[in-house]
Amino acid sequence: MMIPKDIVDNIFETARIEEVVGDFVTLKKKGANMLGVCPFHDEKTPSFTVSPAKGIYKCFGCGKGGNSVNFVMELEQFSYPEALKFLAKKYHIDVPEIELTAEQLEKANTKESLYVVSNFANEFFQKQLKTNEGLAIAISYFQERGMTDEIIQKFQLGYNPESWDALTKEALKSGYKKEYLEQSGLSIFKEDKSFDRFRGRVMFPIHSLSGRVLGFGGRTLKTEKKIAKYVNSPESDIYHKSKILYGIYFAKSAIVKEDCCYLVEGYTDVISMYQSGVENVVASSGTALSVEQIKLISRYTKNIHILFDGDAAGIKASFRGIDLILAEGMNVKVVLFPDGEDPDSYAKKVSSDKLKNFIHNEAKDFLSFKTQLLQKETKNDPTKKAALIKEIVGSIAIIPDHITRAVFIKDCSKTLQISEAILTQEVARVKRQESSSGQVNEYTPKQAIKAPSQKKVDFNKSNYQEWEIIRFLLCYGDKEIVFFEEVEEVSEAGNNKTIVKEYTLFVAQFILEEISGEIQFDHSVYADILTEYMSFINNDELPSPNHFVQHSNPTISQVATDVMSNRYELSENWKKHGIYTDTEDVHLRLAVETAVYSLKVKKIEQLIKSAQDEMKSPDLETQNQALEKMSKLLLLKKMISEKLGRTVLR
């Protein structure tokens, strides 16, 4: 029995470390990281650090560290599967604990095949922009919309030719299977005929958080009413429209930086805003806003600005989606563009600064905006006003934070000219109804446990040197370092000369070539990591650090977290004052060579000690063999120490 890998991956991707830890520890921003008081041991000065970028936590007081799953395991004393299930429940992820059948393995392979065929289609669509048809139709359209070549390339826009089956033919010719073209929605097969779903349309690829193509949106440039303006990919094993937002891959960093997400309606709204310098923008792509999409945004910010085009009917239709945002405890503001304008058109008309200022100045709190908008329709009709009050109360009752609810009740009381007490009572009544229907779900964390005492280090062993090797493998294994080799070149005239040749190696290559087969690690966990790392290399792969941080073995995950954690950061203020300092990655070859030679010297010292013990034997032959062995070891140690010395001084 096991939890399927795709669900484990989904849990790790969804469970942001700062959210998981934040349920138990009050965290405060400190540079790129967050700081709090450790839940695993008693401390007055916070030394518990969370790195959202790396997805890890580390206490520099007691040494505890790991990922979101490790945190729950340590705090709640859960097993690995129990911690996964706990987080899955928190993020409403279904976890069927099953034994993978041949059919399920085939399905996992199917998903990967869908990713591959979608990527092929994306590249095909982009190539069509350079054909005569693509230049005349698609590029002309993009240019008319004011899109630059740079933005077209960044968002990977493309074109599907007018031909009935241009993509399908090319894909089949390239060896892609009919079943995956059909499942992805790229192709339609009827009897002995095939059709491109998106024929004659400009293409907007829809990316996952990691940048993989999940599906497409295609816009027709024809004006016939019977032809749908937009066609989207159907639901598939990799594309679920309610769980993804157009542009999130490009916007997520800006959303974190600005601590705000702008939500628009369509593809071109996103692209025009992004081109104008407003990069924290995403679209629901014409679908009703879903809870999954809101949760996706909440992973990066608690603040959403919804940008409308001024159509009152459209705004009212969006009220339900906005209530969903409020229910997730997020802050919602509304920006209304002038009549006849939408984010796309307005972004083209004004400068970047004017666009940003307009959004900032026009942003209004949603509940106040909703109250004012609906109030215009009541026209002093008591019945309509009562219905308005009930609708506003419904939105306020959805808000989970009681302080925020109280603030809105106070503001709405003034706007609607109704007693604050009456509004409070009505909100309480609505919330009681929710509670009795089972909609309220409170969770109280268990009391934190203390960390066990730390073991003493055996300095006779090479644990520190082995730790350094593991650190370089995990932190810098995929980085290249340059080496120089003196080579004697023989000319036809017989004049030999020495030349210096340059070659590069990955850090992992250099380390494993130097220590593989001749050095055994003392530390069992470091040895396990090294063995697993080498298995990747033997398969011509370089494992990512996250592979070990998210490892199912908690001791391996702990070590990976430790080696990736830095207690101190260089302040950005240093750079402001013109103060710079070299970091380890600047002199990477020097640092890696030092680590490798230090390990070798330590291992030789262990062998020398063993030879010294053998010399105490009463057997004369054993003494002589030990003496000879020690003589060779001392010579070898001298050679490596000299090399180490040159490395240090260079």
Question: Residue 563 has what pLDDT?
Answer: 81
- Does 31 have pLDDT greater than 50? yes
pLDDT in tens, 87-123: 888 888 888 755 555 565 556 578 778 989 999 999 9
Each residue's pLDDT tens digit, 570-604 = 454 544 545 444 455 557 888 888 888 888 888 88
The pLDDT tens digits for 221-271 are 988 888 889 999 999 988 989 889 999 889 987 887 888 999 998 899 999
Lowest-confidence region among 140-149, 441-450, 458-467, 547-556: 441-450
**Contact call for residues 262 and 278 (beta carbons, < 8 A):** yes
Categorize the per-residue pLDDT at 508 as very low, low, confident or very high, splitting at 50, 70 and 90.
confident
Instruction: State residue 261's pLDDT score.
Output: 94
Confidence of residue 524 (pLDDT cuts 50, 70, 90): confident
Sign of CA dihedral 181, 183, 184, 190: positive
Percent residues over pLDDT 90 in the chain: 24
Q: What is the DSSP string of 98-149?
A: BPPPHHHHHHHHHHHHHHHHHHHHHHHHHHHTTSHHHIIIIIHHHHHTT--H
Asked if 316 and 306 touch (Cβ cutoff 8 Å), the reply is no
The residue written with tokens 């369509």 in the block is 266
Contact of 187 with 171, CB cutoff 8 Å: yes
Q: Angle 420-436/402-416 helices, nearest 10 degrees?
A: 140
Residue 613 CA to residue 604 CA, distance in Å, equals 14
Residue 487 binned pLDDT confidence (cut-offs 50, 70, 90): low
pLDDT at 646: 45
**Spatial separation of the C-alpha atoms in residues 599 and 474, rounded to whole Å:** 17
Q: Phi and psi of 214, rounded to 5°?
A: -100, -35
pLDDT at 161 over 90: yes
Q: How confident is the model at residue 445 (pLDDT cuts 50, 70, 90)?
A: very low
pLDDT (average), residues 291-298: 85
Alpha-carbon dihedral angle through residues 72, 74, 75, 80, given to the nearest 10 degrees: 40
**pLDDT at residue 452, as a whole number:** 36
Most confident of the ranges 77-81, 439-443, 613-617: 613-617
The reported pLDDT for the residue numbered 516 is 73
- From the CB of residue 319, how many other CB atoms can be counted at a distance below 10 Å? 16
- pLDDT at position 639 over 70: yes
pTM of the model: 0.56
Domains of the chain: 5-90 (3.90.580.10), 102-239 (3.90.980.10), 248-436 (3.40.1360.10), 458-564+583-650 (no CATH)
> What does the mean pLDDT of the chain come to?
81
pLDDT computed for residue 106 by the predictor = 59
State the DSSP H helix or E strand holding residue 368, giving kind and residue range, or none if neither: helix 366-378
Lowest mean pLDDT, pick from 57-71, 345-359, 430-444:
430-444
Averaged pLDDT for residues 512-539: 84
Residues 6+ away with beta carbon under 8 Å from 130: none
Q: ∠ at Cα 31 (245, 74), nearest 5°? A: 75
Does the structure show a pLDDT above 50 at 447?
Answer: no
Q: What is the mean pLDDT of residues 41-48?
A: 77
| Helix, strand, or coil (residue 174) | coil
Pair 59, 49: CB distance under 8 Å: yes
Express each pLDDT in 368-418 by its tens digit: 787 777 777 777 788 888 888 888 888 888 888 888 888 888 888 887 788
Angle at which helices 463-476 and 588-614 pack, to 10 degrees? Answer: 150
Tell me the average pLDDT across 355-362: 92
Of the two residues 19 and 545, the one the predictor is more confident about is 19
- pLDDT given for residue 299 in this prediction: 67
